[in-house]
Structure 1
């Protein structure tokens, strides 16, 4: 039997005997295939390298004790091989953060069953309001608004007469690890129920706008996420302005893409279409357990950002409705982009918890750039993938280098811009997204919001690549200033120089 080393020199000899004192870890500036590279290094240097293997990333996986968690395949599906997982990778994300109580999710829906045992302790409480005294204590125009508001009946009790709002609230942030019912995505986040839908599940744009405005007013109290699990064909200037105010208040808004099986690039879906107009709106499609677009889900290469599980989703509902369905435990199972959006709202709350200084555009980029790319979703969604909560929490503090050589490509018709791609970390790697803006006057920090966004920008190429982009022919002729914002997968951003371009008929 060997004895333990009695000194550092003895320990060093022991490590040398096993060869672990000669280990070297290699880091690469751009993506590689670790197993293939390890095999190639062994072939090329058989006398210098004893062994080569990938530097595997292993983590603990925090699993809650909620009894129905094992049925929540969309949080962690243990019945498939890792490469076929279609879930959110929630336990891996929970090892980083389970959500902060400082982050409030405003759920604009049909209300909430505030007495549900898995939700009762998750409600936001307005610290500026005294309950039931008939006085608007905080002077915000709403009397006794302790935990939300009913914009349908105009009272401080956003009770859920439909069940949908309770369901969405539970998916985003049900009380978790309490040995009761289900697990929510963001354990720590609080819920602000804002009732804008009636007992039939109908929403008017006027009540939605009022609810968004209320959420903006509560930004100082911690509202960072708005969930919008509703929709229909149309557009709305009023709602766009309300959500633009939410963007300025550092609130991200997650919208359901719709359940009509249609292409949203052809028919605008309200409010999801606003993703192309506002930095803080994310449109979510539904995917199934096989990483396929759900048969009912709307899609759109330009107007729907990312997919999330939306088939066979178990959640909480009002106990009255659950009893009618024969579920005495207050649960319900079903499908929809509503459910997919609520899950993404929970992930957005996790991101805001881990990175509280993030602007809405940074949260949005994290959701899109870190999605698991799925071949079946390519060309159907902006990201071409399904959200991954774990990857969305990636820590990366190095921004891309700014583009410094943006210029008009000479002698080309139609006109085009050219530049040298920078990278993900400074001048290394490959950035995640470009945001190309144009305006009739020079673009400044204060006027960026008014600059028009190009709907279909190219994807960044590896650092050092000379890129060329043809200016779309549908931009009206006149003189414009063009600017490119470069984002990495963590939402870090750098801007290009501006270039003046005159478009002629």
Structure 2
């Protein structure tokens, strides 16, 4: 899963509880701190492998172009609607009167002012935690296939696909699928020790909240303080986020451990029906779509807030940080819990975004199984007919997604081609901070289109006036979504395919080989993605300026996908 991904499972639980590799342990002596907003900088002018945003705006100014507002939908965990750098750029439904309990615009969603929450209940309850799709698939089909003599040669179409998916889920849940095992007991001990050390350090520092940098300068007064400092500082360094707060570090570590515990429990029993117990819809019926509530903040807005700021936080206002695009409206669609998202929620979220005017959709989430992928494919095709571009994060498992599943993706399950209005994004960094490729990023010569900055990205976080770093392909994806929105602002006639062309054609290839994530192997970036480059907004804008509106070209006549109750 990508999830709301702020870290890579505490450096994948310190490299699957074998603790960190020597390279990770020594990383703080080998790299430099990146400046806030480094991802926007220009390599030639500033010395960092950013996306040349200022040069892009200078180019637009020279051309005398004026912007046209672009709506960007963010399908995520929620957003802080009160944040100082986001309030002015949040989408507000012009046809909806806030809080009157009436569906003023008749779209089926009452009081959808900022967007919609597909993982909430009409009574106001919201889903925070959910299970993993692999566990759901395994237990849903266990009675049908476990212990039965199945001849795959007798199965066809959906049934064969279902059986193969169950076999994959069985291997994942029961083990023996070649993936490394995680020592859960050791993880729990590490977490318990981290919590104890954190309490000691709060006293030693005389404050409840501190960063890795604060800890780095602490001179311990007692042996107990010294031991606590060494242990927690090790976690900060292994996770490569010294600017992160202790609360975020410990909270994310605990979230990772809880997730691994849920995975372990899935071997013995079916996961709780988190979603069913709260939402109350018929999850097997895609036509049952008017569920949820308008609470797009809920209690889990960190990830969506950070993503939204990367795309379009108000530029040049002297507050916090600048987004990539300068004239956007962020439509938040809450559909991603702590755990794996459900295909139905994602499919309907895409449709909601399209029907309410979004032209770019950012999707910083993902998982290994997609039982109703056909519903999502139908929604993606629908988005294409309306001229909507979808941008998706490649994932944070240092895997080759040409061979390892990462859903959703551009390949249609029915075998009828690929979505051309889709961009998959890997995460890049800077040589000064460890390399051009992020060590956690998924990659794929066929499936990953481009790379974009996703290491130590400074952006908005919940708290009205609060900002901080996070990293993952979850951060790289909105960099690309923001770049796409920028192009649409100034070249509003561009089709999704033309935007994709501009971003890919202009991607900058590193001069030297890069590190293949998860290994020490040095390869050309062209071995890790289709373009072999990192996006550059300035170069993309120059290409966009040479393209013309497709006058006289009839709109593609693609039948509007029907909402059918299909089992994928």
Give TM-score, length-normalised by structure 2: 0.54
* Residue of structure 1 equivalent to 2:119: 152
Distance 1:360 1:86 in 2: 26
2:56 aligns with one of 77, 93, 96 = 93
* Residue of structure 2 equivalent to 1:332: 468
Distance 1:261 1:336 in 2: 11
**Corresponding position: 1:211 with 2:349:** yes
**Please, what is the CA RMSD of the aligned residues?**
2.7
The CA deviation at 1:318 is 1.1
Note the 1:297-376 alignment, pairs <5 A.
Answer: 297-319=441-463, 329-374=465-510, 375=513, 376=524
Deviations 1:127-152 (A, max 9, x none): 11112121111111111111111111
* Residue of structure 1 equivalent to 2:390: 253
1:281 aligns with one of 422, 435, 438 = 422
Partner SS for 2:361: strand
Contact 2:340 2:367 in 1 (8 A): no
Instruction: Pick closer, same or farther for the CA change 1:390–1:185 going to 2, 3 Å.
Output: same
The structure where helix makes up a greater share of residues is 2
Partner SS for 1:71: coil
Partner SS for 2:527: coil
Contact 1:160 1:166 in 2 (8 A): no
Distance 1:141 1:94 in 2: 39
Where relative contact order (Cα < 8 A, 6+ residues apart) is larger, the structure is 2
**Number of residue-to-residue matches in the alignment:** 325
Partner SS for 1:350: helix
Deviations 1:367-388 (A, max 9, x none): 1111002253112100110000
Q: Which runs of 5+ in 2 are unaligned?
A: 1-33, 121-291, 514-523, 549-554, 562-568
The CA deviation at 1:354 is 1.4
The CA deviation at 1:319 is 1.6
Distance 2:559 2:96 in 1: 37
**Corresponding position: 1:187 with 2:326:** yes
Contact 2:369 2:407 in 1 (8 A): yes
**Corresponding position: 1:394 with 2:394:** no
* Residue of structure 1 equivalent to 2:528: 380
Distance 1:265 1:179 in 2: 43
* Residue of structure 1 equivalent to 2:407: 270
1:294 aligns with one of 434, 438, 445 = 438
The CA deviation at 1:395 is 4.7
The structure where strand makes up a greater share of residues is 1
Instruction: Pick closer, same or farther for the CA change 1:397–1:344 going to 2, 3 Å.
Output: closer
Deviations 1:290-332 (A, max 9, x none): 2622111000000000000111111111129xxxxxxxx5112
Contact 2:115 2:331 in 1 (8 A): yes
Distance 1:399 1:347 in 2: 17
* Residue of structure 2 equivalent to 1:126: 93
Distance 1:73 1:201 in 2: 31
* Residue of structure 2 equivalent to 1:28: none
Distance 1:156 1:183 in 2: 27
Distance 2:421 2:386 in 1: 10
Deviations 1:321-350 (A, max 9, x none): xxxxxxxx5112121000000111000001
The CA deviation at 1:95 is 2.1
Distance 1:216 1:448 in 2: 16
